[in-house]
Amino acid sequence: MRRSIQSLLVLLCLLLSSMVIQAQSKKTVTGVVQDAKGAPLAGATVRETGTKNVVLSSETGAFSISVSPTASLTISYVGFDDQVLQVGSTSTFNVTLQTKGTLQEVVVTSLGISKEKKALGYATTTIKAEDLTQAGSPNFATALYGKAPGVRIGATPGGATSAVNINIRGINSITGKNQPLIVLDGVPIRNGEARNNDYWSDQRVRGNGLLDINPEDIDNISILKGASAAALYGSEAVNGVVLITTKSGPKGKKGLGVDVTANYSQDEVAYLPRYQNKRGAGISNSIANLGQDADGWVYFNVNGQQIRSNPAASINFGPAFDGKPTLGWDGKIRPYVAQQDNYKGLFQTAHNSSISVAVTQSSENSNMRFSLTRQQNEGVSIGAQNSKNIANFNSSFRFAKNFTTDVMINYINQKTHNRPYSVDRMLNNFTGMMGRFDNADWYFDRYQTSKGYRFVTGNWPKLNSF
């Protein structure tokens, strides 16, 4: 019995001695991880090479780890080359990581989770902020033209107030609802599928929710495609997902920053119907008797003289242009020549401008960004204007190691005047209204009275306010 107890005591002493020797062999190594510019890298991985002994650097880049004196440390951070250090007799390290020559593309998926693009099981496309603001587009959706494969942007003509629809990989529903889910900083927003093709119920060109997102406040956009992407957000994402991440204060860089951006662009009518310029308004009297003579003219008494004019016809098979004096519909006598590009005068050159000022502030436990944007946009329709003031506040506060809160506020004040009208059919809108001996300029001094009222049409007895 005594021999058994002695054996146990010897075994226990040997075990304790081994633990003491092992404990004495460990040493604490501290240090700071930073980039080439001296900015601390928070969350860098510090690993005892070949083991599961791992710690992460703090917000200031500091770390502390207990390792064997003969061990080596591997320090890694996303986007930077790994660095291996031999511990030896050194207890403190200042580690500077170098940026990788080629950065693997990282994609933001659901709930703000970032993953490497090659690790995803579905197709994605990421568009950076500079790609959205280069062209100075008043809304981010039209800035996506040609930026993402398989994504079709459908914009209604009319300028900054016209709706924009996004379609990913063709038609996905027989109901006609093919808009993807729009997620702004993790929050789904309702865009609405604007339909500007029902001329008889609403002639005004309407907008939708995409127009309220300021391109200057966007950091990047990730487009998720396919059924696997839809599984992240449920049935509402069956047509794909457009993830929008807005700008915030710079992480890892303390201090105050100010950014000022300005854009200017012009919109013009690109294409108008082409017409013949050989004959003016009229028709043969063998088809319709409008009071015209054999040459197709009607005559009016002007100050005792008979002055020729075109008959009130909606087609242009009248007299050939000869440059001689002819009475126009407005009572003025002009040379009888074709008024080329006469429809172009019904449109204006639209001037669009945007100026944005952003102030950022970052500290060890917080970062903030506040921006003000002023947009002044015009439409190609005469008198069409849209002014917009946008205020955006984006902040993040770290109260504890595992407790962070984000605060985002977006305010928009918008005024739209003379929202553009849609056209019916090309045949209805560009035939009959203006003949070849007619010009848009002839209407401008007659479409309203000296008091600013619009002339009535038909037999209405009172004037309508303009």
d(CA 95, CA 31): 7
Contact between 105 and 126 under an 8 Å Cβ cutoff? The reply is yes
CA distance linking residue 88 with residue 99, whole number of Å: 27
Give the residue ranges of DSSP H helices in 202-267: 227-230
CB 63 within 8 A of CB 74: no
What is the per-residue pLDDT for 356? 92
List Cα–Cα distances, 193 to 156, 162, 178, 197, 382, in angstroms. Answer: 12, 12, 8, 12, 27
pLDDT-derived band at 22, boundaries 50, 70, 90: very low
**Burial (Cβ within 10 Å: 0-12, 13-18, ≥19) of residue 367:** buried
Question: Cβ distance 77 to 45 under 8 Å?
Answer: yes
Around Cβ 397, how many Cβ atoms within 10 Å?
14
**Which pLDDT score is estimated for 297?**
93
The residue among 215 and 280 whose pLDDT is bigger is 280
Token pair listed for 418: 């003379």
DSSP 151: E
pLDDT digits (tens, 9 = 90+) for 425-443: 555 555 556 888 998 888 8
- CA geometry: angle 49, 79, 125, nearest 5 deg: 130
pLDDT tens across 210-263, in order? Answer: 777 888 888 888 888 766 666 667 777 777 888 888 888 776 667 888 989 888
- The answer on pLDDT for 21 being more than 50 is no
Identify which has the larger pLDDT, 9 or 137. 137
Return all residues near 118 (Cβ < 8 A) that are at least 6 apart.
104, 105
- Tokens 């002023």 label which residue? 374
As a whole number of angstroms, the distance between CA 350 and CA 137 comes to 13
Res 460 pLDDT > 50: no
DSSP label at residue 182: E
Please tell me the predicted confidence (pLDDT) of residue 268: 86
Task: Classify residue 198 by burial, with Cβ atoms within 10 Å: 0-12, 13-18, 19+.
Answer: exposed
pLDDT band at 110 (very low <50, low <70, confident <90, very high): low
Is the per-residue pLDDT at 325 higher than 90? yes
Write the DSSP symbol of residue 374.
E
Residue 359: the pLDDT is 93
d(CA 214, CA 130): 13
pLDDT digits (tens, 9 = 90+) for 359-398: 998 887 888 999 999 999 888 888 888 899 999 999 888 8
Report in angstroms the alpha-carbon separations of 180 from 145, 237, 420, 456. 16, 6, 26, 45
Domains and CATH numbers, the chain: 24-96 (2.60.40.4130), 107-269+349-417 (2.170.130.10)
* 406-434: average pLDDT: 74
CA–CA separation, 461 vs 456, rounded Å? 8
Q: In the prediction, which pLDDT does 24 show?
A: 47
Identify the pLDDT of residue 390.
Answer: 92
For 139, 150, 206, 223, the CA distances from 143, given in Å and listed in that order, are 7, 15, 19, 14
Measure the CA–CA gap between 30 and 34, rounded to whole angstroms: 14
In single-letter form, the type of residue at position 213 comes to: I
Q: Where are the alpha helices (DSSP H) in 63-152?
A: 129-133
Higher pLDDT, residue 298 or 447: 298
| Whether the Cβ atoms of residue 181 and residue 233 lie closer than 8 Å to each other | yes
Candidate from 99-108, 164-173, 269-278, 378-387 with smallest mean pLDDT: 99-108
How many other β-carbons are positioned within 10 Å of the β-carbon of residue 230?
A: 21
Q: What is the pLDDT of residues 120-175, one digit of tens each?
A: 555 677 778 777 777 667 777 777 777 777 777 766 666 667 667 777 776 666 65
Span 53-77, mean pLDDT? 88
The confidence score (pLDDT) of residue 428 equals: 55
CA atoms of 162 and 378, how far apart (whole Å): 11
Output the average pLDDT for the chain. Answer: 77
What is the arithmetic mean of pLDDT over 262-287?
86
Average pLDDT value for residue range 38-43: 86
C-alpha R_g of the chain: 36
